[in-house]
Amino acid sequence: MSRDAHVAAARTGLPAPAIEPVRILLVDDQPARLLTYTAILEPLGECLVQARSGREALKRLMEDDYALILLDVNMPDMDGFETAALVHQHPRYEKTPIIFVTAVNLSEMDRLQGYQLGAVDYVMVPVIPEILRSKVEVLVELYRKRQELEALNASLAARNQELQREKARELEALNESLRLANEALASRNSELQTEVAERARAEERLRGVDQRKNVFLATLAHELRNPLAPLQNALGIRRLQGGGAADALQDTMERQLDLLVRLIDDLLDIARVSQGKLALRPDPVALADVLSGAVEIARPWLDAGGHRFAMQLPGQDVVLQADHARLAQVFANLLNNAAKYSDPGSRIELEAALDEARGEVAVSIRDTGIGLESDQLEDIFEVFRQVDTTVERSHGGLGIGLTLVQKITEMHEGRVEVESDGLGLGCVFRVHLPWRPEAALPASRVPVPTVAAVAAAPAPAAPTRVLVVDDNHDAASTLAMMVRLLGHETAEVHDPLLVEAEVERFAPDVVFLDIGMPGRSGYDIARSLRARAPSPAIVAVTGWGQPADRERTREAGFDEHLVKPPRLDAVQRLCTAAGQRRGEA
């Protein structure tokens, strides 16, 4: 340890670590001088080793490490210069300091040679003890500093190697962790891909189920129309037999049949909405006409509950660009809903108001019925949703009326809002529709005849010959009977293979032809009849009423398309028109 370390230990009060003595090689061929060197340097406490020749010095250097060499210049056999040259040729001692001792004055060339051989200093004989001791002490201290530095470098190198190994271990651990994380991530990605694929398959299955559901609803509605046709026809017959007068039983049956037809229509409409096939036929329409039509549709429900109904309209004409029938369906559904969920004798209000600043009209329908909770306001328009499904408070219905209200309103670029202060406090449904003040109605509007007006119409001057073709005997018989009561001649065919023969025999003016019959479709029959000359008027009577269905019947040669159950006024109109055409011919 260096003396600086001892000084630092003394300042801190800590015990100084022991100083290991270093070896100093004393080389001289004269024993007296060796004793002198030893006496002078012993106070330094170092390990002094003597050698009496250059060869002995080299031997000593091969055995141990030395911090310093005190070397006599003038020695026999091998002088100091030769010895120094051999010492510094060895890599182990190439930097070992040498102090030359000489008794003669050396020339500058000799000194230069000594310095070139590694000498760091010269000492003249007689040796001055203090000078020699100080020189040796300085060189020994430098040796110790060098040794400490080398030890520190070695320690740093070892520490650096350890750090490198530690970093290598950490890197290896990190790489292993990353490898495991990557494996886990790859596994999770594989699981996610499997889940995504399974979800896609599930969604595809759900779409298939939803598509099949929509097809089922449409097919169900179509199939339900077939048994409704003879019922509707029977009611028409009953009214015609009564001379147009209606009793309570007749009204009840017609009202319930209308309800059933509306439920079927709603089923068809919700299927069309789900498939994106519900189309509008917008025209300029008067809001007052639309609302009056809606009230007329909802009148049976309002009257059945004994409700007090009030309607308030704007003071000016309001013309909308809308589908009259579909918009009337919106307000009729809302009125039916209000009547259905209100206690008998409740007040139901319909109010229409213009907002010229926003360019819209708002139609509000207010009731004092069962009301809604706040959480029900968000999902009231979901399909098949009913706010109250308890047995003791069931109000019937399929839960699709409000869904249609929202969808049809949105198709008119409008929106529907609902408000309620809570259960038992009623509801307000508000329909907002775009309105343009410059919109105008067409010059003339032809009113649609009602059932009562048709029933009261006088018998035609010349009866029309009507052929009814339907594999459903009840539907064919009741339609034929209703036509006969209207004053026309009728014939029936239940087998689609016998139609042409009956046409040849009966020579009808008009044929009411079912579409879906076993063994042969109405389309095929229509094409066959259209090829005849002269051909009768051909009217499709079917449960399918989509625009695509009407286009298909037109392409097959049909003149008209009636949806089951056919309305009495439509049947009367077509029979009369066919008779008139025959008379003109």
pLDDT at 390: 40
Mean pLDDT computed over 279-284: 84
Instruction: Output the six-digit token pair for 422.
Output: 């809570």
pLDDT at 256: 67
The one-letter code for the residue type at 159 is: R
Q: Which domain holds residue 114?
A: 3-127
Picking from 111, 127, 143, the residue at the C-terminal end of a domain is: 127
Answer whether residue 116 shows pLDDT above 60. Answer: yes
Give pLDDT tens digits for 213-260.
666 666 666 667 667 767 767 777 777 776 555 566 766 676 667 667
Which range (150-154, 514-518, 546-550) has the least confidence?
A: 546-550
521 and 476 share one domain: yes
Percent of the chain residues topping a pLDDT of 70 = 76
pLDDT at 446: 41
Give pLDDT tens digits for 358-370.
889 999 999 988 8
426 and 494 share one domain: no
pLDDT class of 14 with cuts at 50, 70, 90: very low
* Whole-angstrom distance, CA of residue 582 vs CA of residue 474: 29
pLDDT at 298: 86
Owner of token pair 């790489």: 175
Nearest to 205 by CA among 217, 215, 193, 213: 213
393 and 334 share one domain: yes
Asked whether residue 329 is assigned to any structural domain, the reply reads yes
List, in order, residues 6 or more apart from 106 with CB less than 8 Å away. Answer: 73, 114, 122
Instruction: Output the six-digit token pair for 331.
Output: 């307000």
Give pLDDT tens digits for 472-511.
898 899 899 989 988 999 999 999 999 999 999 999 999 9
Picking from 95, 127, 159, the residue at the C-terminal end of a domain is: 127
Nearest to 106 by CA among 133, 125, 78, 86: 125
20 and 87 share one domain: yes
Residue 394 sits in a domain whose CATH number is 3.30.565.10
Nearest to 294 by CA among 324, 255, 314: 324
List, in order, residues 6 or more apart from 485 with CB less than 8 Å away. Answer: 237, 240, 241
Mean pLDDT computed over 416-440: 86
Asked whether residue 157 is assigned to any structural domain, the reply reads no
How far, in Å, are 27, 102, 106, 117, 136 from residue 125 at the CA level? 14, 6, 12, 21, 16
Give pLDDT tens digits for 131-175.
889 889 888 888 889 888 888 888 888 888 888 888 888 888 988
pLDDT at 457: 45
43 and 100 share one domain: yes
Percent of the chain residues topping a pLDDT of 90 = 28
Answer whether residue 391 shows pLDDT above 70. Answer: no
Choose between 3 and 475: higher pLDDT. Answer: 475
The one-letter code for the residue type at 225 is: R
Choose between 460 and 95: higher pLDDT. Answer: 95
* Whole-angstrom distance, CA of residue 339 vs CA of residue 331: 12
465 and 565 share one domain: yes
pLDDT class of 42 with cuts at 50, 70, 90: very high
pLDDT at 395: 46
Asked whether residue 88 is assigned to any structural domain, the reply reads yes
29 and 80 share one domain: yes
pLDDT at 280: 81
* Whole-angstrom distance, CA of residue 425 vs CA of residue 368: 6
Partners of residue 489 on adjacent β-strands? 465
Answer whether residue 538 shows pLDDT above 90. Answer: yes
Q: How high does pLDDT run on average in the chain?
A: 81
Would you list the DSSP string of 426-438? --EEEEEEE--TT
Picking from 434, 468, 499, the residue at the C-terminal end of a domain is: 434
Asked whether residue 183 is assigned to any structural domain, the reply reads no
509 and 398 share one domain: no
pLDDT at 87: 84
pLDDT class of 392 with cuts at 50, 70, 90: very low
Asked whether residue 473 is assigned to any structural domain, the reply reads yes
Name the phi and psi angles at 284, rounded to 5: -65, 125
Answer whether residue 299 shows pLDDT above 80. Answer: yes
Mean pLDDT computed over 429-434: 94
pLDDT at 349: 93
Choose between 53 and 237: higher pLDDT. Answer: 53
Mean pLDDT computed over 74-91: 84
Asked whether residue 200 is assigned to any structural domain, the reply reads no
Answer whether residue 453 shows pLDDT above 50. Answer: no
Give pLDDT tens digits for 169-216.
888 898 888 889 998 988 898 888 988 888 888 888 877 766 776 666
Residue 550 sits in a domain whose CATH number is 3.40.50.2300
423 and 463 share one domain: no
Asked whether residue 90 is assigned to any structural domain, the reply reads yes
Strand order in the sheet with 68-72: 47-51, 23-27, 68-72, 98-102, 119-124
- The alpha helices in 341-463, defined as continuous H runs, are 376-379, 401-411, 451-455
Asked whether residue 162 is assigned to any structural domain, the reply reads no
352 and 292 share one domain: yes
394 and 493 share one domain: no
44 and 106 share one domain: yes
Give pLDDT tens digits for 120-136.
677 888 888 998 898 89
* Domain tally, the chain: 3
